[in-house]
Chain A
Amino acid sequence: MDAKPLWLLAELTYKCPLQCPYCSNPLDFAGPRFKQELTTEEWSRVFREAKALGVLQLGLSGGEPLLRTDLEGLVATAHQLGLYTSLITSAHRLRKDRLAALQRAGLDHVQISVQAADADLSDRIAGTQAFGDKLAAYHFTKELGFPLTVNVVLHRENLHQVEALIRFAESLGAERIELANTQFYGWAFHNRDALMPTKAQLNAAWQVVLRERARLGPRLEIVWVLPDYHEQFPKPCMGGWARAYMTVAPGGEVWPCHAAGRITTLTFENVRDRSLEWIWRESDAFNRFRGEAWMPEPCRSCARRTVDFGGCRCQAFLVAGDAGLTDPVCSLAPHRHLIDAAVAQIERAAAAGVEPPSLTYRAAPASRALTAKG
């Protein structure tokens, strides 16, 4: 096994002032599993071990990473190691002097989310008044000279704003806009029927993306994260299980992706008990779906197995009940009918003018209630 990780996503905390109903954090984020956050020293050790393993790109995420008062020190440690650091933030309550301090510590890149192109809708989706802080932060991020990514999660409530969102990112002087169609994990899976767009909505938005890409060229990179339920083939999730990517959750558990903690049939090791190298190379969770030996049919004999690696293990677990199956999004998968049924239900409801179900916002009380229900 000679795969070496390139990417580390450090989820520093699951505390967050926003309550986005598509949050990728675990439903049980407020429970005991994630309560004892890693200390500054423990994170520093994780970064050192990650660099020694081959990691070059570090995402500082959460929850809201700005809630860690030691963030400046963590950035400095990562920078001294030569990691390229990205802050992935809501920018809630972020002030220019703090971002300037993070810049002095060596921060390379800032990604700020926005929930919609206008304050009313953005704040409604965030579940709190956040748009004003974001707008200010976008401007001073550019004033400080940072490369800026605008990140928007897309769903049925905001897909009609794709053009306005691109124009917004352009007006800010952003380098990138990530138009991330909702991937159905975590809270998004729980809210799937309320968030899933219709095919017509997606087609209209995609036409806008094509037109705007042609207009803007390399001035603004427009990333379109595929709405995989509406695709024929699965995404090459994480570039393959445990090939290049890992996530460390707030309590120190290490996952091959930020959604994998939900897979209850795997046991995840913790950096408090093991070295990152041992977890990457030796742990059962990382080895279980590495390479091709685990693959069932139709993946095993499929030419696309080196393209999409069988798709997403978390999706196989969530939708088909077994992380070792072909991603049910694949049109060749035996469980594709489950995806088709979910999509067809949305189309039927939309055609009949039925209101979507209400959203469950990501918040600690809801987390505890959902976890208690099991």
Chain B
Amino acid sequence: MNPTSAAAVPRLHPKARLQRDDVRGRDVLLYPEGLVTLNPTGAEILGLCDGVRSLADIVTTLEQRYGASGLERDVTSFVEALAAKGLVVYGR
């Protein structure tokens, strides 16, 4: 499957864990020997990367949630960047 396809189903790699960082008031993605700091939008996108929803589903969910449109490019590039780091994988 072409991973940038809207039908692709992203999920967190098992090595990565979404975690609230209470002390700094933010969400982070933790993985072996590292972490990625997330802004609220990023954390929300990752929360939807559940191995069930496709990229298209995630975009639709967020667009409905915020009454916005045209989020596809931002969502895809965010997920792709994490996939390049091996923190997101595609497939159910």
Binding site for B on A (CB under 8 A): 4, 6, 52-54, 56-57, 82, 84, 86, 108-109, 111, 145, 147, 149, 175-176, 218, 221
Contact = CB atoms under 8 A, between A and B. Distances in A.
Interface size bracket, B side: 10 to 19
B14 interface: yes
B21 A56 contact: yes
Interface string B69-92: 000000000000000111000000
B19 A82 contact: yes
Contact of B15 (A4, A52, A147, A218): A147
B30 A56 contact: yes
A149 B23 contact: no
A163 to B, nearest CB: 22
B67 interface: no
B30 A57 contact: yes
A58 to B, nearest CB: 10
Contacts of A4: 23-24
Given A109-B15, A218-B84, A218-B85, A147 B20 contact: no
Contacts of A52: 23
A145 B14 contact: yes
Contacts of B32: 86, 108-109, 111, 147, 149, 175-176
B12 to A, nearest CB: 12
B19 A56 contact: yes
A53 B23 contact: yes
Contacts of A176: 32-33
A109 B30 CA distance: 11
Nearest to B29: A84
- Chain B CB within 10 A, most for which of A6, A53, A86: A6
9 contacts: A54-B21, A54-B23, A56-B35, A57-B30, A82-B20, A84-B19, A84-B31, A147-B13, A176-B33
Contacts of A6: 35
Given A57-B33, A147-B32, 20 more contacts: A4-B24, A53-B23, A54-B23, A56-B19, A56-B28, A56-B30, A57-B30, A57-B34, A57-B35, A82-B19, A82-B20, A108-B15, A108-B17, A108-B30, A109-B32, A111-B32, A147-B13, A147-B14, A176-B33, A218-B84
Contacts of A86: 32-33
